[in-house]
Structure 1
Amino acid sequence: MASQFNLARARASCSRCHRRKKRCDRTLPMCNNCHSSRVRCSFQDDQSQTASYPIAYVHGLEERIRTLEKSATGDERQLPRGEAAAVGFGEDSNFHDLPVRDAELCEQQDYLTQGILEAQPPTFAAELKTLSLEATAERHLGSTSGISFAKLTQMVLRRLTPDKADFVFANNEENTAGASFFNLSSPSDLFNESVFHSLSESISVHPLLFGDLFLADITEPDSALDSLAWPSDEGHVQHLINFYFAHSHTLYPIVTRSEVMQTLDRIRGNPQNLAEQSPLDIFRIWMILAIGSTAVSSVSLTEESESRIYYSKALQYSELALGSDDMAALEVIMLQVSYSFFNQLGPNTWFLVGIAARLALGMGLHTASTYENLPVDVQERHKRVFFSIYMMDRVVSVALGRPFALHDDDIDVTPFVDADEDSILPDGIAPQSSLQPSIMAVPLHVLALRRIAGKISRQIYSNRQNADLSAQQREEIIHSLHQELLAWRRNMPFPLPDIHDRVPHLNTIWYDFNYYTHLAMIYRPSPLSPVLDPKRIKILEMAASMSLRQAFSMHKQRRLAYNWLNFLALFTATLSLIYAITAQPDGLPTVLRETRAINDLDLALLLFETFGTKFLAATKIWNMVDEILRRYKAIRSANAGIGV
């Protein structure tokens, strides 16, 4: 009996892991880190510790109680509080009134009384939910997040079972490092809401602004921070700054490069001069090092202790920098959002994007009249900041399926110009070469993609807007968005700036990947088109397969960023392919032989295996996809003339 309770998991990290800033698996009664180090875990002493259990396990206990109660006939012992009550979990249930036959039942009742019914089963949908919720402390996910689509895919998977029953995953402990993932005594609800709940053990389950660590834990001085006045390797510092401007700055042009380089020049060789800079300058330079370092780590899959030190140093100046002025406050918030896209120690992405959007609206950055009397260089800087917020808002809101903080109908200011910073003067913009696009051509094209994503969200995933549309109007919307997306891909900047060979969006494959992931978003089941015809299913299959191939190409070229956004994109692409293959009206053996679905899912497994070095949930998802893939292969090998 005791071994079954190893499924218990604490709600928070143990004291030792929390103090040492180590990732805690929260296993009760002792976490694996403390067990491996042969030290006493704080869980063993904390009597107030609460735990979570898989719901399938709880159902098993419930059934066990029923069985024991039925077998307790003439020799039943009653608890002191009256007559035996029926076993149940409704409002009228009273655990203290249950008939008890032996100590085992008492133990089961005690654990149930402690609130283990709050747990959720580990499923695909729960994993998807937790992955999306890495960006937020709140729990709502809307339709663009893919949560409804994940549940629909679960229903389609019944086609893989002989009796069309729910698809049940096998327990494969060797691929989860000995961790028990599924309880086979109960059917597994592959895509219910709890999949996202435990997707990544590297992400905090606490609704804290700064992830797993409290703000005090990363701003209080320690030996590492005290000893670091400035990195001693100036070549490495320059490498991180160059990577920031090649990678993050070409997605979100938040800062002015000349200001950063002036700060760097003042402290290069004289670290003591850093203390003489303004709080904003100090915050900015540490954050650029932190973002550059975590971006490098996301592409190279290296550990991120360096970026966390830089981030902690920056936070010591954030409050003073926020108080400088409104534009400084925007920059402080947005640099933290940029960091959070890569590193789970960073702030609550959803929360901070909303704050930045509200502040920008309050400053009037969305209206053309605000810019009328400003010098041209100031206008362009403000526009770059505003439309960076816009792009961040679209990325996070689409990923979570939530309403946008910034609405296109409210924005009448034109985007920033396609010109490099040194060409923008207070009184105008110097002529640009027609043979070489500026660096700003990249974020401008990304901005166009974010606008298309916003249209997809509003026109395809809005139930209220779609309620009264005819079949022809629905088809016209899908066709129009498809054509707009195709035009975006055809009109990408050429040639792309050749400033770093590891930056994903400075290669055409990144644009192919985004084209196909957005195309799949258009054609998967949605409020606009809840039932797909065979033609749309084939388009969805193609888009999902091509998404996986492009992601694998970036992986092979070492250009793929292994962050939570790409993890989510890979997961939803895999779900789309599973749905499109399994839902096709043709016989499944024929479909599996005539498509590259099995090969493409093999690529997905390789990608999940790599993501597993950073996200524990990737290993869990690997097991689930592998189970489906093995079933596909068995079907393909069977009689080709028999459909499924």
Structure 2
Amino acid sequence: MQACDRCHRRKSRCDKLQPCGPCGKANTACIYSDRTKERIFRAEHVERLERRLRHAEARNKVLASELARARAHADADETATPSDIGTVSGPSVQPLARSNAGDVITEVSYLSINAAGERQYLGSTSGILFANLVKAGVDLRPSSRQASPPFDLDDAYQHDHPYGHRSKDCSQELPPELLARKLVKAYLDHDHICYPFLSPSFILNAVDQVYVDASFYTSNSFEAFVFDMVLAIATANVYKFDWQMLPSAESHQARAMSAITDVLRCGGLQSLQAILLLCQYRTGSSIQDTSASMWHLVGIAARMSFELGLHREAAYPCNPPHSEDNADSARIFKDQEIRRRCFWCVAAMDRVVSNILGRPLAIREDDIDVNLPTPEDDRIFYAGLTEVDGTNNHARTHIFNHITTYRLLCGRIMISLHGQRSNGRTCADIYRLRDSLVADLDLWKQRTVGLQLPDVDLSITMSRDRSSFCSKEWYELIYHNAILMLYRPSPALSDVSRDPITLQRIFSSAKHAITLYAYLHRSRKINYSWITLQSLFMAGLSYIYAVGRHFRERRRSGPAQRSGMLERDPKTIEVVNDTRACSNVLVAVSERWNALRHCHEVFDRLSDAVLADSIKLECLLKHPETHQGEEVHAPHQPPEASGWSQATLMHTDISTEGLISQDQSAWGTNAFHISSHSGYQTGSPLAVDTVFRNCFDDLQHLYDQQQINNPVMQLSQDWLGYIGSYDPVLNSASSMETTIAGVPSNVG
């Protein structure tokens, strides 16, 4: 029996009763429809028909408006006398020219939006958003001469976009005041800490006005938009505590989008703040993959920031007033600080999206000279905001600056190690650059102490009232994510994981990241979004990669050769606990997110395979005598290192020397049996390598609809290139696959 219509639409669990539990608690009608008899159409077919229908409707409206203008012009010519022809013809030509220009702009806007078949614009409002941004620049004032209403781009989309114009009864759909104030408080206590581009007093005043003045909501588009989007963002965050019982955030977002046309048409800082609200909502939205549309939104926000001059310190000339009695000076300075925070929020979002999608940055540090906000000025910016959970307003700016500094550091890591150009740098130069970035990251971690956050205690769950931005666990997590960015294979250092120090850092950071993700999930502090899903999957894949590399080198080499090995053999129970923790969180995140739910299945197949290799190795260590009668093949020699620079070899030798001396006891005499007398040294591939080959296409196309070059693709290509370089059975096939993937077959 299928789920009821409401549970099916909300993607929630249905107990298939009449009425079912969720419908009974919501006091709504529980209806069951036989969806097996519905006609099934391919998505491409439906999209093609919708696209043709929209184009036909838009064209019909253009023709209707042209016909109305032509009739009005003809009537004017017929009624005009010879004496006033000279006075009429002059003024009438210019409005007609403006009208024709408007038609051209409309057509260009429409074709630009639909040129890619809307496959890149995953957000439901991206098309109307771009159209209105164009209109904000070319049609700020309505024409005074209109014989009939001209063709409006909004009307062309009102049939396929539910967010047309604000309806008159929108104010009747508002939530109760008590619930709204709780959601606003939740927003200020958590989301506003990371992205403080709105004044808290402005938000609180908007809430007061909405429930005091009945006409305020319908007559003030920007305030109403901010109010609804704040509720949507807060609901998406609170949603994680009881995601099947609370109402979704889409109702608030739908009300907000009914005012998006009026908000964006004004341009300026308010339009930038509106786009930032959309971006902030999509970073926490668990409904769909919104990364592609957010990529465009952040790009627009970056362009607007440059246009407003927010990237230059000269745009902030006002000094803080010495006394709060000077209301005008305080107001001007507060507006200036809002603009400063808006810019840094755009820069931080730019780093987040570019890192996830593997695309170039929109804002580079060489192009900006604006300073971060100073905590000393918070008495003005956070005026009227009460302290929550021990986090004073002074610490809020410290936290925001600390997070922004981390985002900037991640941007430098992207440009330095994950860019496509080496600029003639040698391997030694890249190693020195990486060491410098590691030092900067360690310094950033040390400065976390200055935030005066509670100590890490993974044995107890985090307080529900405490934001994750006010916990050391979250900063530990993003620190290890940055370590993975530094040490995982990259275009600049594709053979870096032969270094045991590098492989150990990948393994340790991936293990710590998985542990912290599991803790945040247990505390209901994790962000169930596409950003978390990608970062967690990357940590899990890095863990499998490091353990698989260790087992592979363990099979090929003896204890005297530690290149590409971990400091010790991971225990089977350790692999079980780590992979299970990662898989559980992947399932929890992906089931709240409608796209890419199969990513945890790919990870489960890889983790099962590496677990089988771990069990085999542990059995051989405990009972080596039972395998001495098996067929023994000559050990494979490591790949030639002719392509390595001298600096790389020196770096590896120095790094390996200390590990051999300090970990000899961990290998003992059994290691010799594995190296020379066991079946573990045969030419058969590892189980994880075999499963990885089967999962390679899934890994490469995990984000294929966005046409990106993300870290998952890079790491999987490096993995395939390495196993193809030494396996004599599958070398030729893997080399061909790796060449197609764009990575040489001897990459390590």
Q: Please, what TM-score do these two structures have when normalized by structure 2?
A: 0.56
Does 2:544 correspond to 1:578?
yes
Aligned positions of 1:291-310 closer than 5 A: 291-298=233-240, 300-302=242-244, 305-310=247-252
Which residue of structure 1 aligns with residue 298 of structure 2? 353
Which residue among 565, 572, 575 is the counterpart of 2:531? 565
Q: Which runs of 4+ in 1 moved over 6 A?
A: 20-24, 44-47, 136-139, 211-215, 433-436, 497-500
- Distance in 2 separating the partners of 1:254 and 1:302: 31
- Distance in 1 separating the partners of 2:204 and 2:597: 42
- Distance in 1 separating the partners of 2:284 and 2:425: 40
Q: Cα distance, 1:599 vs. partner?
A: 2.0
Give the letter aligned to residue 525 of structure 2.
R
Q: Cα distance, 1:320 vs. partner?
A: 1.2
Q: Cα distance, 1:318 vs. partner?
A: 1.4
Which residue of structure 2 aligns with residue 623 of structure 1? 601
Cα distance change of structure 1 residues 594 and 45 upon mapping to structure 2, 3 Å threshold = closer
Cα distance change of structure 1 residues 137 and 517 upon mapping to structure 2, 3 Å threshold = farther
Which residue among 224, 231, 247 is the counterpart of 1:282? 224
Which residue among 208, 221, 228 is the counterpart of 1:265? 208
Q: Cα distance, 1:421 vs. partner?
A: 4.2
Higher alpha-carbon Rg: 2
Which residue of structure 1 aligns with residue 108 of structure 2? none
Cα distance change of structure 1 residues 368 and 137 upon mapping to structure 2, 3 Å threshold = farther
In structure 1, list runs of 5 or more residues that go unmatched: 1-16, 25-33, 52-135, 140-203, 427-432
Which residue of structure 2 aligns with residue 241 of structure 1? 184
Residues 542-599 of structure 1 show CA distances to partners (whole Å, capped at 9, x for unaligned) of 1111110110111112211111101110000011111111112224997332893332
Q: Secondary structure at the match of 2:363?
A: coil
Q: Cα distance, 1:502 vs. partner?
A: 4.9
- Distance in 2 separating the partners of 1:246 and 1:575: 33
Does 2:585 correspond to 1:601?
no
Which residue of structure 2 aligns with residue 124 of structure 1? none
- Distance in 1 separating the partners of 2:284 and 2:124: 13
Q: Does structure 2 retain, via aligned residues, the 8 Å contact 1:517–1:547? A: yes
Does 2:514 correspond to 1:514?
no
Give the letter aligned to residue 467 of structure 2.
V
Q: Does structure 1 retain, via aligned residues, the 8 Å contact 2:125–2:163? A: no
Cα distance change of structure 1 residues 220 and 250 upon mapping to structure 2, 3 Å threshold = same
Cα RMSD (Å): 3.9
Residues 199-239 of structure 1 show CA distances to partners (whole Å, capped at 9, x for unaligned) of xxxxx96634427998744325899x947525353221111
- Distance in 2 separating the partners of 1:337 and 1:46: 27
Q: Does structure 1 retain, via aligned residues, the 8 Å contact 2:124–2:161? A: no
Q: Please, what TM-score do these two structures have when normalized by structure 1?
A: 0.64
Q: Cα distance, 1:36 vs. partner?
A: 5.9
Q: Secondary structure at the match of 1:340?
A: helix
Which residue of structure 2 aligns with residue 640 of structure 1? 620
Q: Secondary structure at the match of 1:586?
A: helix
Does 2:311 correspond to 1:366?
yes
Q: Cα distance, 1:415 vs. partner?
A: 1.1
Q: Cα distance, 1:310 vs. partner?
A: 0.9
Q: Cα distance, 1:315 vs. partner?
A: 1.1
Give the letter aligned to residue 484 of structure 1.
D
Which residue of structure 2 aligns with residue 543 of structure 1? 509
Q: Cα distance, 1:441 vs. partner?
A: 1.4
- Distance in 2 separating the partners of 1:284 and 1:434: 24
Residues 592-619 of structure 1 show CA distances to partners (whole Å, capped at 9, x for unaligned) of 3289333211111111221242135665
Q: Cα distance, 1:302 vs. partner?
A: 4.2
Q: Secondary structure at the match of 2:309?
A: coil
Moved more, 267-276 or 589-598: 589-598
In structure 2, list runs of 5 or more residues that go unmatched: 13-30, 49-112, 128-156, 320-331, 384-389, 455-461, 556-564, 622-673, 675-679, 681-685, 687-748
Q: Cα distance, 1:373 vs. partner?
A: 5.2
Give the helix-richer structure, 1 or 2: 2
- Distance in 1 separating the partners of 2:43 and 2:524: 45
Q: Does structure 1 retain, via aligned residues, the 8 Å contact 2:464–2:523? A: no
Which residue among 329, 341, 351 is the counterpart of 1:394? 351
Which residue among 530, 535, 545 is the counterpart of 2:494? 530
Give the letter aligned to residue 566 of structure 1.
T
- Distance in 1 separating the partners of 2:42 and 2:432: 64
- Distance in 2 separating the partners of 1:312 and 1:559: 26
Cα distance change of structure 1 residues 44 and 335 upon mapping to structure 2, 3 Å threshold = closer
Q: Does structure 2 retain, via aligned residues, the 8 Å contact 1:137–1:206? A: no
Q: Does structure 2 retain, via aligned residues, the 8 Å contact 1:299–1:502? A: no
- Distance in 1 separating the partners of 2:316 and 2:501: 48
Q: Does structure 1 retain, via aligned residues, the 8 Å contact 2:166–2:255? A: no
Give the letter aligned to residue 274 of structure 2.
V
- Distance in 2 separating the partners of 1:211 and 1:406: 24
Q: Cα distance, 1:37 vs. partner?
A: 2.5
Does 2:404 correspond to 1:447?
yes
Percent identity of the aligned residues?
Answer: 22
Cα distance change of structure 1 residues 631 and 594 upon mapping to structure 2, 3 Å threshold = closer
- Distance in 2 separating the partners of 1:222 and 1:280: 12
